[in-house]
Structure 1
């Protein structure tokens, strides 16, 4: 199948290229935007109906505003129009538009974790873990993935930079970075837009933005969004599933229980109404301002608020029990999320003269939150109040994440033989969290299996960096670039404690509550002392050459490195940093007077000390989050290709192809995870109770081949309006869901998904209306997996899934 798709891709290219008599005629190359305004790039839409060429997109991946086709970096630039048409609401929704990009949503912390080119960390979801793909908003680093869903408010463009970005973008951009550019105010103009949408699952959405010209030097922009829908996961009725009281009594007696202590299972312990899992209730607002008193100075300032009152994403049984719907679960913990995020972002640019610009980019953010999650996923029906199942609630009692960052950079402007940029950077985090896990045998009426409380009152991060990059324009067609960044990271945990159940028979066995202060008096002992310090410094670097091929092409070759710091884990032990070296060649070409654009890259990555983390059980029975560095080299190679074309005057086509044929993990003898029960017993040297050797296994979320095809056609109606159908199809081969590679249940089979929409725009473009269907075939697509030990060598598997079929309609107004 993959071979046939490769052939199809080549055939499409041949047809498109051969549809004109000449390829080379001089294309209208996009000129770089005014360098005095680097903070407001204009990502012109390749798909826009008015566009006559496709090479007018500009990006900021090199911290300059440059034409995409003249930027020697693997970048996918997605403009606001495409984000809207594809109904991109979160970072996870972008993945189908970007080659080699995958994302999964984690249930118990309800965060989105991103993988690029096969590299990522599904467990990067707590105050301990950092991602390999850094997320920025207007150039400001956003360290907390929990707020990722709130970043797509009034977005002008999304730029996904693939490959290490450690020189210019810094730590945690090991394998890439995503930079969202918000829409900035415009001086001297009053305009705005509004949109309403409705859909199945009682979906309701509203978006609006307005630009306010305050004076000839000052403007403001106000934007708001509210998106909500009911949960996809129905509640199963315990009545009819629970065994009879006599059967419960017999099961309890068979387990050795005292007949005098027997009690029937209380069906009211199960949740059957209220907010369902996988529901959305999110809103955000942003107030932006631009002050430009003269041509040499500009200041953009934005204040943003994000609110989340939705519910977590439930793990679903891969094979539901007989008589139960796939999108349902037997729930004994009601879903809950309450998160509030605040962000202040600032950028000042001074043109010191016609050769030099000084910029100061600063950001401050805070995210507070709490949540509850049914970690046992309702996969087993209890046989008595203490047997046959497990009750586990994962609960974030409270979390506070505060961060700030400051960057000064000085860059050359204008046309020079040497283009350069130098800068200083400082970022800090101050995080705290309490996370409880009551785990009971049978039901919460039963006996304690284990329960604990992880209290981290203060964990800090301080990161200092200096960087510089120089491009020598050898001649009009050839350029050489070198860059380096020195980073010093320091982390500290003060007062962190893990409290584990002491199994004191004199203490009542009840689930720990949010108000419980754990201690010996209520059955808890300190299981881990998490105090500690970590420090490390690292230099990342870049070497690149690129040259023009005629007027319409560019090829490049680069060697670059990325870096992610190590840190502290439960117990106060440190884990090491990771580093990646990427070798890449690529090309960017425009054909047919700019009506066809084809960008491709081939890469090989040598990844050392890759960090893998997971919830684990220690030999003494207590639990925590464990980290391992994979020894030796994790080796990955792959290819990426993006093609955009205007066919005639009314058809637009985008084709994205990627493949990762090699993705081999290095050496890791003792990999464990409580999400995968039933792993073999581990030797004492490992420090955990159960594990397996995953050396040489394939990386997860890395299909051998993936393809996304987007097509739309404009029908011009007699009244001057335009009717545009749009079709998006995605196909990828099978891929693993964990490093354990445990068989069919631990992978997503080859699949295809499709979205369709129909949009009408009235002649004056003052309003529009659209209808959409997403996941037309109602494909059940796994993004993560786990398994529960059902005894007798049998396992019950669960997975996270992309949303089911959804449909709706929207109407928008421009004024």
Structure 2
């Protein structure tokens, strides 16, 4: 970061801090005439493992409802990019997320994310376990900041909760949707909610998505189908049993397409004028492919006692993954490069929680968690020159087990102030064993790989919150968390550690949530400071005849910044949204010279723009008996950032804007709608990763129409 840029960041940080103070001072009691029908509606979230109003939850949460996803044409995780402030999505094969500059960009088998992905309250260990297309969703919640007490390990950046619609008792309903757009996009969705008597209901839903590749060599395409069936049994008012089965399959060439953008004459390669971001390989590779099959079953039991609510959850998920991605040009060291992994992963999780009743003056939760993951994996990395040469790595056995006990309590001090304390004890262990074979030598040489990593310890949270007025909440907290360590599948002889330790965080956060002007103006703000030890980064080493990916721990890193988000409804038909996020990241010490690496101290974290702004406006035109028409326009403005840990000039993404727009017609009875939408109106080529002289871009301009029918 240059001095000018650092000065700009400090100035804007001062602005955010000023806005934080202003939003605190401005608090006034909400009028008794508040009417959600003519103002901002209350939103229910489950950020604290129980239902509560968003504005009463002392956690920074960005949210999109199922209706918002549909009206904006967002039908897959990659399309979320730019829609949630301070959250970035990177479609590297699977969609990985960054929250406040913290995330995981890691190709190694068994590497855990810094963000907990949860689907219907069930932890998904890796992004490949997520359904690759959105359908029949209630909402998506992005919890910004560590969630180590209630959500456990691997939540240093936060959590993303995907909540699907539950079966509804006593109501027959159905919905169907079709979407068409450029790149020959065709997507469908259907849902049927069927009551089976007074105490049982079943909900069946499914979706498909298919489009051509955004890269001219065919990469970044989609061919997906998915389905879900949920059965709800509620024998009495206080007991529910919810069973879910889901399946998805995706094929084609898949995400991860890239184009060469080597720096020449000190000009940034991926930002130089004339760079062809969507060219892909010089010569299309017909053998490339990507296949992911995902199946999961789970059961959730909830029972209300007179004094607490018991929740028990068990789930099993299997993911089978295989792909081949080849770069077909001469800019890669050693010639053309192919990466061919195949993976079989199974994950079992179980959790039991006991929550206080919503009416209890003291709010508490206690619980226990268990997970066991096993995996086999094979990776063929092949360099092509005059002869076929390469390296193969086989992971014969991978096991990861985690156990935890946790509890959190919120105690009132008078009528306006509450104190929160939480503890979580975690014990986990990982082990891996395999073999790496180097075909660059004759005869081929095989070396055993693997190792083990285990640890146990306490994480904690201490917080305070206060009702400044009827519709104004202030809160502050200090918390700790960790992201799991792991095992490097690299041969001996390169000086690379066989395992890497957990990364640990201490986070300081303070925020305010306010409603003003008879519920027509919402101003939320949060500032934060993170102190890291052991921050994990994926690096690589080019050696004669070998390319190794490995994860290492930095000694120290720090992250600080803040967000301000404003939502206003000056009239029942107008809605304005604006947010400003500031981020400053730094490896304060990241010295790898002890085993032949470099010193990255002072570098910024990857994919961490110092300044990001989001602005949106929509207006509803009421057409009487003819229905209503709602145009919407939104844009994201991003500062420049680095896309690799070494902060290479060639891989720096320049500042950019990306604009989306939609026009929705809704029939008078609400039974059908027609929406036209466009994303990345500027057709800006934005890279999310840089590796080996190649840039990996986000989607170009996409547009289409969505036709939806549903019973009312």
Q: 1:278 to 1:300 in 2, by over 3 A?
A: same
Structure 2 equivalent of residue 500 of structure 1: 438
Say if 2:342 is the partner of 1:392.
no
Distance 1:780 1:357 in 2: 50
Equivalent pair of 2:9/2:610 in contact (CA under 8 Å) = no
Task: Give the stretch that moved more between structures: 316-325 or 535-544.
Answer: 316-325
Equivalent pair of 1:27/1:592 in contact (CA under 8 Å) = no
Match of 1:70 among 56, 59, 63: 56
Distance 2:539 2:9 in 1: 36
| 3-state SS of paired residue (1:69) | helix
Match of 1:90 among 58, 76, 82: 76
Distance 1:615 1:332 in 2: 26
Say if 2:258 is the partner of 1:315.
yes
| 3-state SS of paired residue (1:146) | helix
Structure 2 equivalent of residue 217 of structure 1: 199
Say if 2:626 is the partner of 1:697.
no
Say if 2:605 is the partner of 1:665.
no
Equivalent pair of 2:285/2:328 in contact (CA under 8 Å) = no
Structure 1 equivalent of residue 264 of structure 2: none
Structure 1 equivalent of residue 266 of structure 2: none
Say if 2:484 is the partner of 1:565.
yes
Say if 2:552 is the partner of 1:628.
yes
Distance 1:565 1:806 in 2: 37
Structure 2 equivalent of residue 338 of structure 1: 291
Q: Number of aligned pairs?
A: 682
Equivalent pair of 2:169/2:200 in contact (CA under 8 Å) = yes
Shift of 1:701: 1.3
Distance 2:277 2:645 in 1: 26
Say if 2:448 is the partner of 1:525.
no
Structure 2 equivalent of residue 800 of structure 1: 696
Structure 2 equivalent of residue 511 of structure 1: none
Say if 2:376 is the partner of 1:432.
yes
Say if 2:329 is the partner of 1:378.
yes
Distance 2:12 2:598 in 1: 36
Structure 2 equivalent of residue 713 of structure 1: 619
Distance 2:305 2:27 in 1: 46
Equivalent pair of 1:128/1:569 in contact (CA under 8 Å) = no
Equivalent pair of 1:408/1:425 in contact (CA under 8 Å) = yes
Equivalent pair of 1:27/1:551 in contact (CA under 8 Å) = no
Say if 2:460 is the partner of 1:541.
yes
| 3-state SS of paired residue (2:390) | strand
Distance 1:485 1:90 in 2: 33
Match of 1:649 among 568, 572, 576: 572
Q: 1:29 to 1:92 in 2, by over 3 A?
A: farther
Structure 1 equivalent of residue 501 of structure 2: 576
Equivalent pair of 2:27/2:514 in contact (CA under 8 Å) = no
Distance 2:70 2:131 in 1: 15
Q: 1:611 to 1:29 in 2, by over 3 A?
A: farther
Equivalent pair of 1:421/1:470 in contact (CA under 8 Å) = yes
The TM-score with structure 1 as length reference comes to: 0.80
Structure 1 equivalent of residue 690 of structure 2: 785
Q: 1:617 to 1:27 in 2, by over 3 A?
A: farther
Structure whose alpha-carbon radius of gyration is higher = 1
Equivalent pair of 2:529/2:558 in contact (CA under 8 Å) = yes
Distance 1:322 1:710 in 2: 30
Equivalent pair of 1:634/1:666 in contact (CA under 8 Å) = yes
| 3-state SS of paired residue (2:102) | coil
Structure 1 equivalent of residue 387 of structure 2: 447
Distance 1:283 1:487 in 2: 37
Deviation string 1:737-760 (CA, Å, 9 cap, x unpaired) is 1121222x2211111010111111
Say if 2:671 is the partner of 1:729.
no
1:48-67 paired onto structure 2 within 5 Å: 51-67=37-53
Equivalent pair of 2:330/2:336 in contact (CA under 8 Å) = no
Shift of 1:718: 4.7
Match of 2:417 among 460, 478, 486: 478
Structure 2 equivalent of residue 327 of structure 1: 278
1:608-627 paired onto structure 2 within 5 Å: 608-617=533-542, 621-627=545-551
Deviation string 1:280-323 (CA, Å, 9 cap, x unpaired) is 11111000111100011001111000110132331113369999
Shift of 1:465: 0.3
Deviation string 1:36-78 (CA, Å, 9 cap, x unpaired) is xxxxxxxxxxxxxx84232510111111111111111111122
Shift of 1:234: 1.7
Shift of 1:498: 1.1
More strand by share: 2
Shift of 1:176: 0.4
Shift of 1:613: 1.9
Shift of 1:557: 0.6
Equivalent pair of 2:133/2:208 in contact (CA under 8 Å) = no
1:127-276 paired onto structure 2 within 5 Å: 127-150=109-132, 152-235=134-217, 276=218
Deviation string 1:386-434 (CA, Å, 9 cap, x unpaired) is xx971221112x3101001000111111433322111010001011111
Deviation string 1:222-274 (CA, Å, 9 cap, x unpaired) is 11110111112224xxxxxxxxxxxxxxxxxxxxxxxxxxxxxxxxxxxxxxx
Q: 1:764 to 1:604 in 2, by over 3 A?
A: same
Distance 1:325 1:414 in 2: 56
Deviation string 1:145-164 (CA, Å, 9 cap, x unpaired) is 12335263211011111111
Shift of 1:379: 5.1
Structure 2 equivalent of residue 601 of structure 1: 526
Structure 2 equivalent of residue 755 of structure 1: 660
Q: 1:488 to 1:22 in 2, by over 3 A?
A: closer
Equivalent pair of 1:317/1:379 in contact (CA under 8 Å) = no
Q: 1:732 to 1:774 in 2, by over 3 A?
A: same
The TM-score with structure 2 as length reference comes to: 0.91
Shift of 1:144: 1.8
Q: 1:338 to 1:749 in 2, by over 3 A?
A: same
Distance 2:549 2:275 in 1: 34
Distance 1:151 1:332 in 2: 26
Q: Which runs of 5+ in 1 are unaligned?
A: 31-49, 236-275, 382-387, 505-522, 671-682, 788-796
Q: 1:156 to 1:377 in 2, by over 3 A?
A: farther
Shift of 1:22: 11
Q: Which runs of 5+ in 2 are unaligned?
A: 262-268, 492-497
